[in-house]
Amino acid sequence: MEVTQFYLVLGAVLFTLGTLGVLIRRNTIVIFMCIELMLNSVNLTMVALSRQFGEVSGQVFVFFVMAVAAAEAAVGLAIIMTAFRNYHSVRTTDVHDLAG
Amino acid sequence: MNILGSTLTGQVTENLLLVLIPLFPLVGAALLGVAVGIREDRRWQAGWAATLFAVCSFVVTVKLFLGIGDAQEAFRYTAWRWFESGQLSVALALRMDRLAGVMTLVVTGVGSLIHLYAIGYMHEDESRPRFFCYLNLFLFAMLLLVLGENLLVMFVGWEGVGLCSYLLIGFWYREMPNADAGQKAFVVNRIGDAGFLLGIFVLFWNLGTVSFPELQGLVGQLPPYLAETAALLLFVGAVGKSAQIPLFVWLPDAMAGPTPVSALIHAATMVTAGVYMVTRLGALYVLAPTALAVIAVVGTATALLAATIALAQNDIKKVLAYSTVSQLGYMFMALGAAAFSNGIYHVVTHAFFKACLFMAAGSVIVGCHHEQDMRHYGGLRKSMPLTFLAYLAATYAITGLPFGAGFFSKDAILWAVYSHEIVLFGTPINRVLWGVGLFTAFLTAFYMTRSLMMTFFGEYRGHEHPHESPWTMTTPILILAVPSLAFGFLFGEEFLHFLAAWGREDLNVGHAVLAENATYHLLEMISMGIAVAGVALAAFIYGLQPRLVDSLLRAAAVCRGVHRALLNKWWIDELYDALIVAPLRKVSAVLFSVLDRALIDGTVNGTALFMAANGEIVRRMHTGRVSSYAMVLFAGTIAAIIFWIVL
Amino acid sequence: MPIELQIEGSRLLTLTMLSPLLGVLLVGLVPATQPGRARGAAILSASITFLLSFNVLSRFVTHGRGFQFAERVEWLPALGIDYILGIDGISLWLIVLTTLLTLLVVIASTSIHEKLRAYLASMLFLEVGMLGAFMALDALTFYVFWELMLVPMYFLIGIWGGSRRIYAALKFFLYTAFGSLLMLVAIVYLAFAHQDQFGEVSFFLGDWVNLQLSVREELLLFSAFALAFAIKVPVFPFHTWLPDAHVEAPTGGSVILAGVLLKMGLYGLIRFGIPVFPFATHAAAPTFAVLGVIGIVFGALVAWMQTDIKKLVAYSSVSHLGFCVLGYAAINIQGMQGSILQMLNHGVSTAALFFLVGVVYDRKHTRLCADYGGLARKTPVFAFVFLVFTLSSVGLPLTNGFVGEFLILLGSFQFSPVLAAVAVTGVIFGAMYMLSLYRRIMFGPFDEAKNGDLTDLTMRERLVFAPLFALVFVIGLYPQFILDDIAPPSRRLLEHLRGKEPAQAPAALEDGVQSARSVTAPADTDTVDYAIRVRTEEGVQG
């Protein structure tokens, strides 16, 4: 009981860190890492809760999240690579072609 | 084969012969058309082929015409059911009764002669085959018009002759004025056609049929106001086609076409289609006295107006054109007096002498190297004796000198107008119309003699050496000169009796019938005197005192003014331009630039611009910075969560 | 008016409709470097479609009941959306016209040099949309095809068009899409109205016929439909997208636009408007008639002013479609048959006129009348073909234009003599603007220096004109083979409309009308039809 709470708090802290990172940082790679951080914090939370309630579905979801995260990393990094090739920068402020 | 069988076969053969009449020229036109399309050489002699088709058609017509007995009996041929919708059922059908027979004879007979004449006239033209193709096509359309069994087949011919007229007036299309004249003819005719269509609608919706024989039996059921309406609407069509006031302006311009065209289409046949149509629907018109009065007035006014204009024209074809308008006015006078057969009588004699005049004029034009101004003619009787003889005969006929064809037919008309009560707005007007008609006869005699004197008498005033035309041209002219002189004398009475079914028997100037009538004799004398006076005056002025006109014009301002007005055709073209064409142009320009582009399209584009402006405002929220989007997204999520918790 | 579906297992309609997709596939497989092959593939595919539609035509039973070759497949059963196709005499000929014109356009695509494959594929896609719209009997299926037509047309104008193509394409798209969105709302409303009344959602036309709508509902819903259709026709004053679209579109686009797309609007009014909204149709008829007449006169007068050949022909379309609208609004058999026949005639002659403009535009790259003149001498075959289609457009008897125009005017005269009298002036103005166009291009002196290099029609071009040329005279001489097919469905529609006039017509007035009219016994044996006609006549008078 006590132990689970620690995990949850840790998950919340990591999630907040990730969110702040996404919102504040301009470097897409860092933003990307922050997204990973958010995903994994959720994973942590789910595993913890799964353990506490003895429910397997939480852990199953974690697998899904990891799979999606992997796919996302693959696609996302590819996009960043292409963007870098075209703009010679990975900073979000330099890529604003869609500005209205 | 038994007797019944053989008579049936006979009937069938005759009905098949009927379809041959328009079919010959159609085939001719089609073959010539294909040949024009295929052959590189455009100068080959197509004229003989075209003439052959016309003559074949004439021969068949004669064969059939001799077989027409009773006026009620007619040859019929139904090609196929053209279209039907609801109660309306229209067949492409032909029908030849006495009236149609007479018209067909004129069309194919005079038509054949003019084809022959055209061979000579168009001898040097570069696109002769195209010309003869159109000419045959015209004959086809005209025959459809005449032989149509119902209003719609007549309308097919009606528009068809309009098309051929358009093509032939603008035959030398490289000169823009010719093309303009053709277009003017077509459009003005279309105004009439619109009236014709409306007339058909009135008849169909009230009688349920468009077929002539059926209409003949049913028109009695029409309430008077509908009969008047239908009659007037159909008359609008006749006004357009037969060049009456106010739609006569196209006919003088139509002289831009080759002279055979003027002779065939704009003198002998097409322009009389209006007279024919009114006669064909005589059963309707006798039920519409007001419409008849209107017709009489319009006809008389046209006759007078055109005759005055003809007085001052110097172009020989223009003189003849206005003379045609004027003579058509006479025909409508007859119709207005319900003397339909008298009107057709004049149609026939007019076809003879006016075609003859036009062709003789064409012969003169060719002989003088395409000079049309009579001031450059003179003394041509020596160099062109045959043409002179024909022109003389035809002029004799049209002026109404005793025993020429025009004398009988014109007198028949004047008698009908004089003796038949024509009431407009409660006033009997027939005596007035008669007087105007008589005066017009005087003018006719004057201007025709003037043209004769200026062309064939006096000294030659041109530069090129004039020469007589080839036999292909002189033969048709001389052939037509004969009936111009003798038709009324020989066949007039029989003719009127033959057509008696149309119009009032008592108005037919059967000489035997009227021999006892003192009034008639008096009128005859008066009109004879008038004609002689007109001829004598013109002969005196233009033959003996050629300077008289000039000195008159110099002496009196009034004379100058009148002369200018006549020369400029009373400025009617200019008037129409100013009153109708120019405002219409203005209106359509305004419709386009103001209503269409500015107002309607402005509203449409304005809406689009309004949206775009709004978009411009909202656009500023989209900075293009991912982090700011993310921030908004995050803030939104938080707000949603708070909202959810609070609720 | 029960809508009968003559279900047939052959799936002929679906096959015909989807057959152009084969062409899209083939065109896509050809490498971009071989435009000839791509064109060949497209021609092959369009010919197959044409032959299939011809098969439909030959197997169609003129006096058959209901909708023939019908197909019904559940599409989204949960939403009550079915895929329902079927044709009657009205859609039959429009389908044949569509396949014929598409084939001709594809054959004439030699003037397209850039992105030919995309052009051909768009054209074939467009054909699918048009055929589907003419075949659909389910409102949502219809709507899908209706919108499907917009997309390829948008690209056709926007990519292969003239200098202001983007503007024109956008205007075309937004204008039409705006109208159809309101229609979509109405469609959904009707589907749910059906649920309220009969317990299940349905988009099937045959189900909608049974709906009981209040007058207010019916008028509002009809307005939504009518706006979409009126824009498409286009009815004055919703026409301004048309000249822009026509002028900017490539020749093929103009041909299809004028030949087929414009018919969609009136087709919709007839196919959906009359069965579902009979009362509203009656109520709106005077408005449509007046707008039609305004369109006739306005289009003609404005056409007269144009110096751009294509714009002139475009405004002439406004005038001609005005006639069609007038015939529809006359609500009698003559008007209805005339209107539908005139749609086909307009498809033939105006399409040909746009082809003809394309011929000179390909050679000289100008559409201004002033740049031509005296061409009759230099290019006689072109001049002759142009003349024939000019006359057909003017409505000369024995060409196709006459019978339709005549029936429309005849029908409208019964509806309102005054309107008919105004509409008849369209006959005069028609001659005025078409002949003045012809005069400016063909007659007068020929400028050797400027146009000396003009050549006459090529064999390929003659091939394109041949079928249209033949149709001008075939329809002109014997329109009955089309009128026969149109008559039964037109009669059914009018039968449906009968007795649904606005209620204010008092019975006494009808009697008065009857006695004033001395209608004679009908010549034809079809007395039933006659009875209908007379009753319709009385009703309209009231």
* SS3 track for chain A: CHHHHHHHHHHHHHHHHHHHHHHHCCEHHHHHHHHHHHHHHHHHHHHHHHHHHCCCHHHHHHHHHHHHHHHHHHHHHHHHHHHHHHHCCCEHHHCCCCCC
Query: Do residue C479 and residue B83 have CB atoms under 8 angstroms apart?
Result: yes
Longest alpha-carbon distance in chain B: 123
> What is the C-alpha separation between B301 and B106, in angstroms, rounded?
27
B-chain residue closest to A16, CA distance: B634
Which pair of tokens denotes residue C42? 């497209």
pLDDT reported for residue B592: 85
> What is the C-alpha separation between C265 and C263, in angstroms, rounded?
5
Q: Which stretches of chain B sit within 8 Å of chain A by CB?
A: 618-627, 630-631, 634
Query: Do residue B186 and residue C431 have CB atoms under 8 angstroms apart?
Result: yes
Residues in chain A: 100
Q: Can you say whether the dihedral through the CA atoms of B148, B150, B153, B155 is positive or negative?
A: positive
pLDDT reported for residue B599: 85
Any CB–CB contact under 8 A between A24 and chain B?
yes
Query: Do residue B622 and residue A98 have CB atoms under 8 angstroms apart?
Result: yes
Please list the alpha-helical segments (H only) found in C162-271.
165-198, 205-208, 215-232, 241-248, 251-256, 262-268
DSSP output for C435-487: HHHHHHHHSS---HHHHTT-----HHHHHHHHHHHHHHHHHHH-THHHHHHHH
For chains A and C, tell me whether 3 or more CB atom pairs sit within 8 A of each other: no
* Strand pairing class (C5-7; C81-87): unpaired
**Range of weakest confidence among A96-100, B403-407, C149-153, C478-482:** A96-100
Residues of chain B found within 8 Å of residue A92, distances taken between Cβ atoms: 625-627
Query: Do residue A98 and residue B634 have CB atoms under 8 angstroms apart?
Result: no
pLDDT reported for residue B74: 79
Report pLDDT digits (tens) over C275-331: 999 999 999 999 999 999 999 999 999 999 899 999 999 999 999 999 999 999 999
pLDDT of residue A65 exceeding 50: yes
Interface contacts B/C by beta carbons within 8 Å: 172
Count how many Cα atoms sit within 13 Å of the Cα of residue B152 in the half-sphere of its side chain: 24
CB B147 within 8 Å of CB B95: yes
Q: What is the mean pLDDT of chain B?
A: 87
Any CB–CB contact under 8 A between A80 and chain B?
no
Query: Any long-range contacts for C192-195 (C-beta under 8 Å, 24+ apart)?
Result: C193/C217, C194/C80, C195/C80
Indicate the pLDDT class of residue C373, thresholds 50, 70 and 90.
confident
Report pLDDT digits (tens) over B203-243: 999 998 999 989 988 888 889 999 999 999 999 999 999 99
Query: Do residue A97 and residue B634 have CB atoms under 8 angstroms apart?
Result: no
Query: Do residue B604 and residue C240 have CB atoms under 8 angstroms apart?
Result: yes
pLDDT of residue C534 exceeding 60: no
CB C108 within 8 Å of CB C69: no
pLDDT reported for residue C515: 38
User: Which CATH architecture describes the domain A2-94?
Assistant: Orthogonal Bundle (1.10)
Which pair of tokens denotes residue B107? 């069309």
Query: Do residue A92 and residue B634 have CB atoms under 8 angstroms apart?
Result: no
pLDDT of residue C511 exceeding 80: no
Which residues, other chains included, contact A82 with Cβ-Cβ below 8 Å and sequence gap of 6+? none
Query: Do residue B625 and residue A22 have CB atoms under 8 angstroms apart?
Result: no
Q: C306: closest CA among A98, B519, B597?
A: B597
> What is the C-alpha separation between B318 and B316, in angstroms, rounded?
5
Chains that touch B (3 or more CB pairs under 8 A): A, C
Query: Do residue B624 and residue A19 have CB atoms under 8 angstroms apart?
Result: no
The residue ranges of DSSP E strands in B194-293, in sequence order, are none
pLDDT of residue A3 exceeding 70: yes
Residues of chain C found within 8 Å of residue B607, distances taken between Cβ atoms: none
Strand order in the sheet with C5-7: C5-7, C67-76, C81-87
CA distances from B71 to B65, B213, B502 (A): 12, 12, 10
Q: How far is A92 from chain B (nearest CA, A)?
A: 6
pLDDT reported for residue B73: 66
Q: How far is C158 from chain B (nearest CA, A)?
A: 18
CB-nearest partner of B186 from C417, C435, C446: C435
pLDDT reported for residue C186: 94
Which residues, other chains included, contact B269 with Cβ-Cβ below 8 Å and sequence gap of 6+? B106, B107, B110, B111, B142, B161, B351
pLDDT of residue C509 exceeding 60: no
CB B18 within 8 Å of CB B94: yes
pLDDT reported for residue B604: 85
Please name the amino acid found at residue C152.
P
**Mean pLDDT, residues A17-44 taken together:** 91
pLDDT reported for residue B76: 86
Hey, is B422 helix, strand or coil?
Answer: coil
Only one residue has tokens 């850039």, namely: C114
Report pLDDT digits (tens) over B12-68: 677 788 899 999 999 999 998 888 877 766 666 788 889 999 999 999 999 888 888
pLDDT reported for residue C512: 38
Q: What is the CA radius of gyration of chain A?
A: 17
Residues of chain A found within 8 Å of residue B624, distances taken between Cβ atoms: 96-100
Terminal alpha carbon distance of chain B: 109
DSSP output for C318-344: HHHHHHHHHHHHT-SHHHHHHHHHHHH
What is the ipTM score, two decimals? 0.90
Q: How far is B611 from chain A (nearest CA, A)?
A: 15
Q: How far is C492 from chain B (nearest CA, A)?
A: 13
Strand partners, B84: B89
Any CB–CB contact under 8 A between A22 and chain B?
yes
Higher pLDDT, B357 or C523: B357
Report pLDDT digits (tens) over C98-151: 999 999 999 998 888 888 999 999 999 999 999 999 999 999 999 999 999 999
Rounded to 5 degrees, what are φ and ψ at B92?
Answer: -80, 90
Q: How far is B601 from chain C (nearest CA, A)?
A: 6
> What is the C-alpha separation between C274 and C418, in angstroms, rounded?
25
C-chain residue closest to B598, CA distance: C240
Q: Where are the domains of chain C?
A: 282-503, 506-542
pLDDT reported for residue C530: 37
* Strand pairing class (C5-7; C67-76): parallel
Q: How far is B231 from chain C (nearest CA, A)?
A: 15
Q: How far is B617 from chain A (nearest CA, A)?
A: 10
Indicate the pLDDT class of residue B11, thresholds 50, 70 and 90.
low
Q: Which of B83, B156, B599 would best serve as a mutation to test chain C binding (most C beta carbons within 10 A)?
A: B83
pLDDT of residue B476 exceeding 80: yes
Q: C414: closest CA among C537, C289, C283?
A: C537
Indicate the pLDDT class of residue C533, thresholds 50, 70 and 90.
very low
Q: How far is B174 from chain C (nearest CA, A)?
A: 4
Chains that touch A (3 or more CB pairs under 8 A): B
Burial C243-279 (b: 16+ CB within 10 A, else e): bbbbbbbbbbbbbbbbbbbbbbbbbbbbbbbbbbbbb
Strand partners, B117: none
pLDDT of residue B417 exceeding 80: yes
Strand partners, B428: B423
Report pLDDT digits (tens) over B564-603: 888 888 888 888 888 888 888 888 888 888 888 888 888 8
CB-nearest partner of A22 from B622, B623, B630: B630
DSSP output for B56-90: HHHHHHHHHHTT--STT--EEEEEEEEEEETTEEE
Strand partners, B211: B150
**Mean pLDDT, residues B272-280 taken together:** 94
CA of residue C62 relative to chain centroid, distance: 21
Strand partners, B148: B94
pLDDT reported for residue C539: 43
Indicate the pLDDT class of residue B174, thresholds 50, 70 and 90.
confident
pLDDT of residue B252 exceeding 80: yes
Higher pLDDT, B472 or B71: B472
Residues of chain C found within 8 Å of residue B183, distances taken between Cβ atoms: 435-436, 439
**Mean pLDDT, residues B596-621 taken together:** 84
Q: What is the mean pLDDT of chain C?
A: 88
Which residues, other chains included, contact A42 with Cβ-Cβ below 8 Å and sequence gap of 6+? A11, A15, A65
pLDDT of residue C462 exceeding 70: yes
* Strand pairing class (B427-428; C5-7): unpaired
Burial class (CB in 10 A: 0-12, 13-18, 19+), B274: buried
Please name the amino acid found at residue C224.
A
Any CB–CB contact under 8 A between A19 and chain B?
yes
Residues of chain A found within 8 Å of residue B623, distances taken between Cβ atoms: 96, 99
Rounded to 5 degrees, what are φ and ψ at C368?
Answer: -85, 135
Report pLDDT digits (tens) over C73-111: 988 888 888 899 999 999 999 999 999 999 999 999 888
Say what the pTM is: 0.87
Torsion of CA B279, B284, B288, B289, to 10 degrees: 40
DSSP B423: E
CB-nearest partner of A92 from B622, B626, B634: B626
Consecutive H or E run containing B235: helix B224-241
Query: Do residue B622 and residue A96 have CB atoms under 8 angstroms apart?
Result: no
pLDDT of residue B635 exceeding 70: yes
> What is the C-alpha separation between B485 and B506, in angstroms, rounded?
25
Residues of chain B found within 8 Å of residue A100, distances taken between Cβ atoms: 618-622, 624
CB A78 within 8 Å of CB A37: no
pLDDT of residue B427 exceeding 70: yes
Q: How far is B621 from chain A (nearest CA, A)?
A: 8
CB-nearest partner of A99 from B623, B630, B631: B623
Any CB–CB contact under 8 A between A97 and chain B?
yes
> What is the C-alpha separation between B126 and C377, in angstroms, rounded?
11
DSSP C520: P
Query: Do residue B86 and residue C332 have CB atoms under 8 angstroms apart?
Result: yes
Strand partners, A93: none
**Mean pLDDT, residues B493-507 taken together:** 74
Q: C109: closest CA among C43, C165, C180, C53?
A: C43
